[in-house]
């Protein structure tokens, strides 16, 4: 990676020595995305000094990258004029992101600092449901009228280009602001200056609506490879755009949520360190309690077969291996199905297709596990009957685990629940009971105990 | 979502009726990314007919979207001229992707169809290590000479724009092709025509080198929000670019790999359906066998305490709950740490910071679990001593589980191993042994059995 080297120590030193001119030059060479890591090291009172050295564009760019805590601290140090300068340069979607995290007194100051028109737009965006396309869109984009020529389009871009988030795609609308089509800047650049913009429109429009789920929006970016997608309202009027960087943020957030759900943690938008110890405990205790009560059922099943393991205590020592194998097989299948559903490779109607695949995998895996274990038991205990019991148990358990493991996420999807909750912890706990039942039933039947 | 509606049935019907003119018009309105799902439904012999109806640009665009099987089938139906037409229009990175999946006879035909110059570039890209930035870059981009004016830059874009993958970012190089800087097309569009391009260069360059890991490249896209990143060689000469759509593909692939590793499956690049049953079995059996042998250790520990549970068989019924809770607590912590490491929020040096957080969470969670269980046991069995044994076991097990769960991924990272292997299955198996040991030791000590 070829990044401009910078040293936080150097910045601190220049602050210390009050070498502000040199500091200003030094800061200009650093990418905006690297500033949060610098700001973390700077004392609160020096933060505003550093910020005042930056030119307005860069200051706004950096401000958008900071986390909510630091934004709040800075706003509290800003004069009203400074706040206005920063907020004016921010893109609307970044302003909205910021407002969502601020306490109400700060929100009031921010809303006083923006223009009347922006305030109206911000309030509209804030009204969209939390996970909707509308809530992550921006309203600053290049819109072209249907009767414009290429030359007129370039004039418009030259005039408003710097205040829009992207010029890579331009959007052609009619008088009623209905979206007619999208033009890639590449097609505008290779066209003749007197061509009509409508001639350059791509015949297929991919647009999202304000109420679409932001996760579906992120998937559309992956599928169609655009750098921005237009957002339209119910009347197909263009109201905003979503850029690919915001879609990437959504992907990463949604993936983190999936990971958390799959580890039996209630999902949480803050990062690991931002979440307090008490919140961490709260996010984890629900599933732990729920799973604990489920595993009490397994315990009760074991108690039911007290006679069997009283007759042959060695049986108990196989419980962890059988429960573990069942759980692992089930979570292998459920993870593959959950991921397949998340990336749209598996559809919820594929029920039989997936099950038929899993059951064949289960037979292969089950037979291998049974043979390996049979041999191990025969060598260790010279007991063929025990080897057969454990081997048979493994085959049946693995077939059962893989079936349940692949079906439960599909059923969840059908019921419009999140399939991710059917991951390792819940699947394992369900399968624990099944495995123990299979084991003792086979043992009692074959060994007559 | 506002997508152009299309019906596969309509396409099939038009093929059936040999209405090729109407079919051509119908196909033109469909987005390239939607074609794979249409092609899946079409008979092999009709595939080439549909393909021949598309104009050259669109045909190449669609060809790049197809999976390897379908590409191979099409190539086998192509005449040499048709193959040449498609390959000429493909971007270099898509050609390379295709070649990597084809059998050698097809690769030879493809390489015969490309120009001498392209063949040389393709061979160079094929030589980069599989997971490197070089292997996913494309070599078609807008490079500007350092002495060019804005007007000259536009002339160049107009000339070569359509053959490059993106015009959103342009790259300024000196005589020796050393990368001097990047210009966003927006800055070019708002600049005056007689300005020098060097005046517009962004002072901070973010570039990747050919040998950088593609996962780090994807992270750079998330951090810096660019739509393309330049790729330079050891001498800082510009050799290619990587576009954001390829970075998104890498993110999704790497995430799928993490999910697989975390479910004890050997990662696999093909999708769920593409992977055969035998391959699925192979990907899963290694970890199952490994974990099975580990859980035999837990079994042996239990056998060691045969006397204890012979004296009080009820003890056995608590084993699933205690093992389950230990495993779940451990995998909660390990998942959060693995994800934190993946998104760079947690660094491997944060050892103590993470542990101190986890241990406090463990105390809260442990005490709650102990109290709930203690009450349950007292109500069910009227046995205070047993309640204390189980409660104490839970507190100790949870503290141990959360400590081990957060430390093992961090240790893996330190040792340059993939932290994802330290997920639920392995962590649970390790913790099973620990939980059982804690339980029986506490039981023996308190109950004197």
More confident residue, A199 or B295: A199
Please name the residue of chain A whose CA is at the shortest distance from the CA of residue B252.
Answer: A343
| Contacts of the segment A297-300: beta carbons below 8 A, 24+ positions apart | A297/A433, A298/A323, A298/A429, A298/A432, A298/A433, A298/A436, A298/B320, A298/B321, A298/B324, A299/B317, A299/B318, A299/B319, A299/B320, A299/B321, A300/B317
**Phi, then psi, of B236 in degrees rounded to 5:** 65, 25
| Average pLDDT of span A256-263 | 84
What is the arithmetic mean of pLDDT over A218-239? 90
Chain B residue closest in CA terms to A156 = B190
Closest CA to B201 of B174, B219, B222, B224: B174
Give the C-alpha separation, A186 to A193, whole Å.
13
Cβ-Cβ contacts under 8 Å, B302 against chain A: 316-317, 319-320
Mean per-residue pLDDT over chain B, rounded: 87
CB burial class (10 A; 0-12, 13-18, 19+) of residue A400? buried
Angle at alpha carbon of residue B334, lines to B329 and B339, rounded to 5°: 130
How sure is the predictor about B360, in pLDDT bands with cuts at 50, 70 and 90? very high
Choose the closest CB to B317 out of A252, A303, A353.
Answer: A303
Helix (H, G, I), strand (E, B) or coil at A114: coil
- Over 90: is that where the pLDDT of A183 sits? yes
Contacts of A33 in chain B (CB under 8 A): 223-225
Residues from chain A that touch B428, judged by Cβ atoms under 8 A, are 324, 327, 428
pLDDT in tens, B271-284: 888 888 888 888 88
Q: Is the dihedral of CA B138, B141, B145, B146 positive or negative?
A: negative
- Report the distance separating Cα B296 and Cα B163, nearest Å: 61
Q: Say if residue B374's pLDDT is above 70.
A: yes
Token duo for residue B28: 């033109």
- Range from A36-40, A42-46, A53-57, A353-357 that averages highest in pLDDT: A353-357
CA of B159: which chain A residue's CA is closest? Answer: A190
DSSP state of B246: H
Residue A111 has pLDDT above 60, yes or no: yes
Query: Among A204, A208, A335, whose Cβ lies nearest the Cβ of B4?
Result: A204
Gap from A10 CA to chain B (nearest CA, Å): 17
Burial of A143 per CB tally in 10 Å (0-12, 13-18, 19+): middle
Strand-pair category, B179-184 with B208-209? unpaired
Whether A327 has a pLDDT exceeding 70, the answer reads yes
pLDDT tier, B6 (very low <50, low <70, confident <90, very high otherwise): low
Number of Cβ within a 10 Å radius of residue B218:
25
Query: pLDDT digit string (tens) for B153-196?
Result: 999 999 988 888 889 999 999 999 999 999 999 999 999 999 99
Question: Given a cut of 90, is residue A290 above it in pLDDT?
Answer: no
The side-by-side arrangement of strands in the sheet containing A179-184 is A143-145, A169-173, A179-184
CB atoms closer than 10 angstroms to residue A117? 9
Average pLDDT, chain A: 87
Quote the ipTM score: 0.81
Separation of alpha carbons A60 and B58, rounded Å: 41
| Cβ atoms of B236 and B248 closer than 8 Å | no
Task: Give the integer Cα–Cα distance in Å for B64 and B383.
Answer: 69
Cβ-contact B182, B170 below 8 angstroms:
yes
Q: Are the Cβ atoms of A345 and B224 closer than 8 angstroms?
A: no
Cα A263 to chain center, whole Å?
15
Q: Among candidates B328, B330, B336, which has minimal Cα distance to A279?
A: B336
Q: Which helix (H) or strand (E) holds B209?
A: strand B208-209
* Substitution target from B320, B332, B419 for chain A, most A beta carbons within 10 A: B320
Q: Which of A129-143, A221-235, B23-37, B211-225 has the lowest mean pLDDT?
A: B23-37
What integer is the mean pLDDT of B61-85?
85
Alpha helices for B343-420 (secondary structure H): 351-381, 384-414
Position with higher pLDDT, B425 vs B346: B346
State the pLDDT at residue A23.
Answer: 86
Closest-CA distance of chain A to residue B290, Å:
10
Q: What is the mean pLDDT of residues B189-214?
A: 90
H/E segment holding residue A374: helix A351-381
Which residue of B33, B255, B369 is in closest CB contact with A224?
B33
Q: What is the per-residue pLDDT for B364?
A: 94
Element (H, E) at A238: strand A238-243
> Which residue in A412, A442, A422, A437 sits closest to A330, CA to CA?
A422
Q: Do B280 and A357 touch (CB under 8 A)?
A: yes
Return the top range by mean pLDDT from A44-53, A398-407, B273-282.
A398-407
Q: How confident is the model at residue A2 (pLDDT cuts 50, 70, 90)?
A: low
- Is residue A5 pLDDT above 80, yes or no? no
Cβ contacts of B79 within 8 Å, gap of 6 or more: none
Subunit contact B295:A321, Cβ cutoff 8 A: yes
Share of chain B above pLDDT 70, in %: 98
Task: Please give the Cα distance from A222 to A251 (Å, whole number).
Answer: 10
pLDDT band, residue A6 (cuts 50/70/90): low
Q: Residues B400, B431: contact at Cβ < 8 Å? A: yes
Question: A38 pLDDT exceeds 90?
Answer: no
**Dihedrals phi, psi of B382, to nearest 5 degrees:** 50, 40
CA-to-CA distance for A67 and A386, rounded, in angstroms? 60
Task: Label residue B401 by pLDDT band (50, 70, 90).
Answer: very high
Contact state of B222 with A331 under an 8 Å Cβ cutoff: no
Give the model's pLDDT for residue A410. Answer: 92
Q: Strand, helix or coil at B318?
A: coil
d(CA B312, CA A310): 11
Give CA A3 to chain center in angstroms: 27
Q: Is A148 a residue whose pLDDT tops 90? A: yes
Q: Phi-psi bin for A233: left (phi > 0), alpha (psi -120 to 50), beta?
A: beta
Confidence of residue A363 (pLDDT cuts 50, 70, 90): very high
CB under 8 Å to B71, separation ≥6 — which residues? B63, B98, B101, B102
B88: pLDDT confidence band, cut at 50, 70 and 90?
Answer: confident
Question: Do A361 and B252 lie within an 8 Å CB cutoff?
Answer: no
Question: Strand B143-145 and strand B169-173: pairing?
Answer: parallel
B172: which 2 tokens? 């300024």
All domains of chain B in start order, with CATH: 8-127 (1.25.60.10), 143-243 (3.10.580.10), 277-447 (1.10.357.20)
Query: In this prediction, what percent of chain A has a pLDDT beyond 90?
Result: 34
The answer to whether A361 touches B284, Cβ cutoff 8 Å, is yes
Q: How confident is the model at residue B5 (pLDDT cuts 50, 70, 90)?
A: low
Which residues does chain B have within 8 Å of residue A344's beta carbon, measured at their own beta carbons? Answer: none
**Contact list, A25 vs chain B (CB under 8 Å):** none
Distance CA A79, CA A190 (A): 47
A124-133 pLDDT per residue, tens:
888 888 889 9
pLDDT in tens, B8-54: 788 888 888 888 888 888 888 788 888 888 888 888 778 888 888 88
Within 8 A of B186 by CB-CB distance, chain A residues are 161-162, 166-167
Helix (H) or strand (E) holding B425: helix B424-447
How far the first Cα of chain B sits from its last, in Å, is 67
B212-216: average pLDDT: 91
Q: Give the distance from residue A117's alpha carbon to the nearest chain B alpha carbon, in angstroms.
A: 25
Select from A29, A206, A368 the Cβ nearest to the Cβ of B204: A29
């Amino acid at each position: 990676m070829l990044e401009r080297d910078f040293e936080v120590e150097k910045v601190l030193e220049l602050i210390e020595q009050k070498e502000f001119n040199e500091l200003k030059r030094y800061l200009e060479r650093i990418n905006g995305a690297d500033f949060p890591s610098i700001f973390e090291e700077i004392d609160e009172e020096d933060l505003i000094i550093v910020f005042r050295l930056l030119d307005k564009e860069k200051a706004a760019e950096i401000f958008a990258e900071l986390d909510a805590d630091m934004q709040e601290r800075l706003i509290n140090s800003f004069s009203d004029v400074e706040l206005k300068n920063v907020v004016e340069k921010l893109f609307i979607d970044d302003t909205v992101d910021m407002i969502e995290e601020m306490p109400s007194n700060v929100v009031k100051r921010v809303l006083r600092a923006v223009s009347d028109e922006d305030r109206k737009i911000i309030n509209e965006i804030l009204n969209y449901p939390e996970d909707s396309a509308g809530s992550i869109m921006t309203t600053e984009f290049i819109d072209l009228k249907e009767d414009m020529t290429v030359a007129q389009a370039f004039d418009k871009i030259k005039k408003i280009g710097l205040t829009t988030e992207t010029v890579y795609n331009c959007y052609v609308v009619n008088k009623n602001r209905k979206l007619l089509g999208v033009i890639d800047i590449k097609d505008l650049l290779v066209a003749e200056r007197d061509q009509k913009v409508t001639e350059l429109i791509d015949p297929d429009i991919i647009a999202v609506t304000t109420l679409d789920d932001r996760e579906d929006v992120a998937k559309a970016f992956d599928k169609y490879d655009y750098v921005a997608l237009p957002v339209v309202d119910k009347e197909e009027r263009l109201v905003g755009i979503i850029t690919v960087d915001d879609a990437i943020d959504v992907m990463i957030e949604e993936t983190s949520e999936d990971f958390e759900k799959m580890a039996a943690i209630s999902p949480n938008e803050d990062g690991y360190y931002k979440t307090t110890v008490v919140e961490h405990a709260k996010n984890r205790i629900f599933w732990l309690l729920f799973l604990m009560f489920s595993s009490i059922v397994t315990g009760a099943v074991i108690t039911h077969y007290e006679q069997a393991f009283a007759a042959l205590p060695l049986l108990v020592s196989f419980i962890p291996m059988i429960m573990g194998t069942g759980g692992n097989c089930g979570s292998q299948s459920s993870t593959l199905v959950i991921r397949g559903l998340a990336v749209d490779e598996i559809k919820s109607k594929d029920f039989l297709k997936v099950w038929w695949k899993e059951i064949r995998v289960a037979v292969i895996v089950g037979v291998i596990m049974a043979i390996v274990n049979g041999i191990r038991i025969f060598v260790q205990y010279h007991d063929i009957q025990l080897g057969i019991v454990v081997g048979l148990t493994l085959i049946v358990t693995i077939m059962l685990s893989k079936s349940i493991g692949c079906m439960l996420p599909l059923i969840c999807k059908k019921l419009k629940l999140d399939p991710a909750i059917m991951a390792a912890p819940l699947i394992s706990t369900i399968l624990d009971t099944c495995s123990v039942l299979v084991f003792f039933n086979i043992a009692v039947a074959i060994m007559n105990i």
